[in-house]
């Protein structure tokens, strides 16, 4: 029988969202940007708020790759979520603002849709927190500092 305890459902939901969206952002976006930088490929990154493209890309790599891994393991979840929320707001307002909303209306692959999906996910993760099944909770229980 499934235990429908509200706290357990919240903890499991947090775990699923953290692992799912942490993996997507880390390995689908952050790692891709890192490999682009390592391989010396042309950096196709916008200059936003006066930040040079290569610096912006490095900031995005750290936020997406390290932040995504942090979400996966459940460490500093709320802080990392805020950085990822800010990154998605930059993606929406600074990069994809003139792109179509849905992929079905796009002539290429650039849309604003995915940035909004990530923004919603990271906002949910922020409010849910790391949950019971996380490194941060394990550290707190073991009192390892």
Q: Percent of the chain beyond pLDDT 70?
A: 96
Beta carbons of 81 and 134 less than 8 angstroms apart:
no
Tokens 């995005």 identify what position? Answer: 60
Domain ranges of the chain: 7-142
Give residue 110's pLDDT.
80
The average pLDDT across 28-35 equals 93
**pLDDT surpasses 60 at 1:** no
pLDDT in tens, 33-91: 999 889 988 877 777 778 888 888 899 999 999 999 999 999 999 999 999 999 999 88
């Amino acid at each position: 029988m499934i235990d429908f305890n509200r706290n357990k459902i919240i903890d499991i939901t947090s775990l699923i969202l953290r692992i799912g969206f942490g993996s997507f952002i880390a390995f689908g976006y952050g790692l891709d940007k890192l490999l682009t930088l390592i391989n010396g490929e042309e950096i196709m990154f916008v200059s936003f708020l006066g930040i040079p493209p290569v610096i912006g890309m490095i900031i995005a790599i750290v936020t997406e790759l390290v932040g995504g891994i942090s979400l996966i393991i459940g460490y500093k979840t709320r802080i990392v979520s805020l950085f990822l929320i800010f990154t998605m707001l930059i993606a929406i307002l600074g990069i994809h603002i003139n792109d179509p909303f849905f992929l079905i209306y796009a002539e290429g692959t650039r849309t604003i849709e995915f940035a909004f999906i990530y923004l919603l996910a990271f906002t949910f993760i922020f409010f849910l927190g790391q949950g019971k099944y996380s490194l941060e909770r394990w550290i707190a229980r073991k009192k390892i500092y």
